[in-house]
Structure 1
Amino acid sequence: MYFAILGKHPQISLAELQKIKPTFYPSSKKGIVIFETEIPEGLKLLGGSIKTGKVVAEKDLQTLLQEVKIIGIQEEAIGKHFKRTIGIRRFKTVKINHTDKEIKEKGKEIINLDNGKYGIVEQYQNIPLYESIDFEKPGRSMSMGMMPAKLTHILINIGIQATTIIQNEPITIYDPFCGSGTTNFLANILGYNTVGSDINITYAQKNLPWRQATPFYNQDTSIDFFTHDITKPIPNNISNGSIIITEGRLGPIITKRSNPDDVRKAQQQIQKLYTDFFTNIIKSDLFPTIICTIPRYIGYDNTHEQLLQTTINSLGYDRKSISEIYQREDQQVGRKICIVTKKGKK
């Protein structure tokens, strides 16, 4: 049995978790899920879960922890209890939603799941990977879309789970709004060939040599970029059956003080861009699965979503979405995650 501590957006974390086909069991702890899976190796590939690992009974902890020099625990009373009952050498209290470097590198973290069950943390979110992509790229600009690396990781896993491509066939990840290359660099380290295009690929091309020199680069997969305007028909140089993982333009910065007319104008621009995007992508008949984000304007009418739904349906595809909006507390524009597939498929 396994457990996962869900991220700040639990519904999105749960959607990604479907990649490992879990069977859930009741959990009394908010933000923690307990499950069985036949794909436990997939746990280390998740982006939306803060920590994952195995569920064990308290009676088994002494054997499992006998060589561990230090454990991390959320409650001091439980740490003292373990010292008395199973003879642990040393413990320190750690926060359940944070990664303690000492515990990760030199010890084991234990999660109290109640009813005599505990979780032993085996995987943590790959924060160094996300920070490298988000903050260390030599080529980036606020004028282009800047989808967070962690969200990109989650979208890739959702896309793999949703695809109609036979799983033993090679999968290529395509981002038609590649910007500085975030999607492509995440797809590469996760083991997928990847292609990116945009009106301007200067930043993506500048970042590629940097990426190849980092420890996060996977030499066994390919990364290619080409110039293309997504409002124009899709060229034929992309593998049939590729999965699209992307985020288009979020529009101008919107605040609580923004003029409603300016917001409506931004929504109209977004609707036009995404209509062209979906029309050209779907008519190319190259992509059975499209995972993308659509801007959600907090506190405003979002009629552009329904209009895009109508466009997608008229082209023979279905659109499902995750109800939870990916946003930060200080943001007025969030991200609605959409899963677009051919009708009659997943």
Structure 2
Amino acid sequence: MPKFLILFGNTTLLSKLEFEATYPNCSLEQLDEHLFMFESEATLASEMIEVLGGTVKLFEVIKELDSDIKDTTLVEEIVALLLSQSEEPYFTFTQIGKGQHSISNADIKDLIKENGKKARYFSSNPSESALLSHKSKATELLAFNQIEDGKLLLAQIRGVQDIDDWTNRDRSKPYADRKKGMLPPKVARMMVNIALGLWQQKNTAKPLLYDPFCGTGTVLLEAGMRKLDVYGSDIDQQAVFGTRDNLEWFKKEYEINISSKVFYMDASHINPEEFTSKIDLLVTEPFLGKQTPKDIELANVFKGLEKMYLGSFKSFSNVLNNGAIVAIVFPRVQTDKRIYSLDSLIDKLKAKGYNLLVDPVIYAREGARVARQICLFSFDRQI
């Protein structure tokens, strides 16, 4: 079976959790901080880059060479591979991990020229190479030296995250509210995928997803990309109107036919009559408090947030199916003196039927005062 290398984004733990929930039959082997290896049928691997939110690039292992291979021999192997695929290669070569060889793109180009062929190369800068590999016929080769196994893995790009498409959904939708702490689309997709994957491991029917703090509809749009029918609600009437507009735009833009309903609702007083059936997946980011709270305010802020979250969880139980999966963001703030979080709420929730499935995963943008703590629960109805 073919071997693949997968390069995860900055929050490796969340990306790994997403992969394992979505593809439970693929076993990951960690090679480096963000790089993992797995075996898979090629058809399954080809869809991964479209499905996963936390995966940047996907490579297929083309050759396994000796880890102590000479630089000149490695260049010859790379050139032979490139020329077997193109008369005029457009490429970049990158290395990850320890034991890297002293090889540059210029060295590879020079040998191609010696073979009487033309070649161009582009920057191995992650963002630039991702963009070029996706948009053009450019190819990227990756080498990882498994020194302990005596192997050097030479892999070729097979998929790159479509930066333009993610940007389109994030910035082209008609309604946005930049003043609120908006959930990044890739994080929303990861949360949807994790919840969906965990649910599918025990169920075969198509699940129904609900976001009770829908905001601008980011979670609902990413669920729509997975062809899920969705419900959304918000206590802000403008958010309700805006999310409806965004969903209509989304359905036309992507030609995706899903059922959706968005309505005004306080998450702590959810009316079951708004739903045609119980909910299987609840994926949401509630209000996390001020984006830049002062230290002196934090104790009261988190006291108020705990009350709001607890009230919402009590209300969720009125519409959740037994065995439903909840993926929810908790706020977390670290000061010089202490950490403020809602960890104490987790034990209280267990008594109400919400069982924590894995340790919370922290997602924090650089410079952000409030970090996101992503929590996953299964709901078991209390008799």
What TM-score range do you get, normalising by the shorter chain?
0.7 to 0.9
Paired with 1:165 and 1:227, the residues of 2 have a C-alpha distance of 32
Matched residue, 1:97: 126
Please give the secondary structure, in 1, of the residue aligned with 2:299: helix
Cα distance in 1 between the residues matched to 2:140 and 2:305: 45
Aligned to 1:43: 48
Moved more, 149-158 or 33-42: 33-42
SS in 1 for 2:366: coil
Asked if structure 2 preserves the Cα contact closer than 8 Å seen for 1:73 and 1:91, the reply is no
**Structure 2 residue runs without a partner (length 5+):** 65-76, 96-101, 146-150
Hey, what's the Cα distance between the residues in 1 that align with 2:40 and 2:276? Answer: 34
Which stretch shows the higher mean deviation, 219-228 or 77-86?
Answer: 77-86
TM-score, normalised by the number of residues in structure 2? 0.79
The answer on whether the counterparts of 1:173 and 1:244 sit within 8 Å (CA) in structure 2 is yes
- Cα deviation digits, residues 173-206 of structure 1 (max 9, x gap): 2111111111111111222222211122022123
Gaps of 5+ in 1: none
Aligned to 1:10: 12
2:48 aligned counterpart, secondary structure = helix
SS of the counterpart of 1:196? Answer: strand
Q: After the TM superposition, which residues 1-346 of structure 1 pair with which residues of structure 2 at under 5 Å, given as runs?
A: 1-18=3-20, 19-21=22-24, 22-25=26-29, 27=31, 29-37=32-40, 39-44=44-49, 45-57=51-63, 61=81, 65-66=85-86, 69-74=89-94, 77-80=103-106, 82-83=108-109, 84=111, 89-95=118-124, 97-100=126-129, 101-104=131-134, 105-114=136-145, 115-163=151-199, 166-199=202-235, 200=237, 201-214=240-253, 217-236=254-273, 237-254=275-292, 258-260=294-296, 262-286=297-321, 288-299=324-335, 301=338, 305-342=342-379
Taking the aligned partners of 1:238 and 1:268, their CA distance within structure 2 comes to: 35
Residue deviations 1:62-83 (CA, integer Å, cap 9, x gap)? 5863467311223792535545
Residues 1:110 and 1:259: Cα distance change in structure 2 (over 3 Å) = same
Report the 3-state secondary structure (helix = DSSP H, G, I; strand = E; otherwise coil) of the residue aligned with 1:220.
coil
Q: Which moved more, 1:35-44 or 1:81-90?
A: 81-90
RMSD of equivalent CA atoms: 2.9
- Residues of 1 paired with 2:276 and 2:5: CA distance? 38
Deviation at 1:313, TM superposition (A): 0.4
User: 1:108-143 deviations in whole A, cap 9, x for unaligned?
Assistant: 111112333222222222322332233233222245
**Structure 1 position 92, deviation (Å):** 1.8
**Equivalent in the alignment of 2:68:** none
Q: CA deviation at 1:26?
A: 5.4
Inter-partner Cα distance in structure 1 for 2:245 and 2:30:
48
CA displacement 1:53-108 (0-9 Å, x = unmatched)? 31120668358634673112237925355453796742424335324333332221
Distance 1:250 1:227, change over 3 A: same
SS in 2 for 1:174: strand
Matched-pair contact (CA < 8 Å) for 1:319–1:339? yes
Change (3 A) 1:89 1:337: farther
Identity of paired residues, percent? 21
> How big is the shift at 1:209?
3.3
Shift of residue 339 of structure 1? 0.5
Distance of 1:110 and 1:95 partners within structure 2: 10
Q: Matches of 2:218 and 2:88 in 1, distance apart?
A: 37
Return the alpha-carbon distance in structure 1 between the equivalents of residues 52 and 252 of structure 2. 24
Tell me which structure has the larger Cα radius of gyration.
2
Task: Kindly indicate whether the alpha-carbon contact (under 8 Å) linking 2:302 and 2:342 is maintained by their aligned counterparts in 1.
Answer: no
User: Cα deviations across residues 251-280 of structure 1 (Å, max 9, x unaligned)?
Assistant: 11225xx142x1112112211111111111
**Is the partner of 1:15 in helix, strand or coil?**
helix
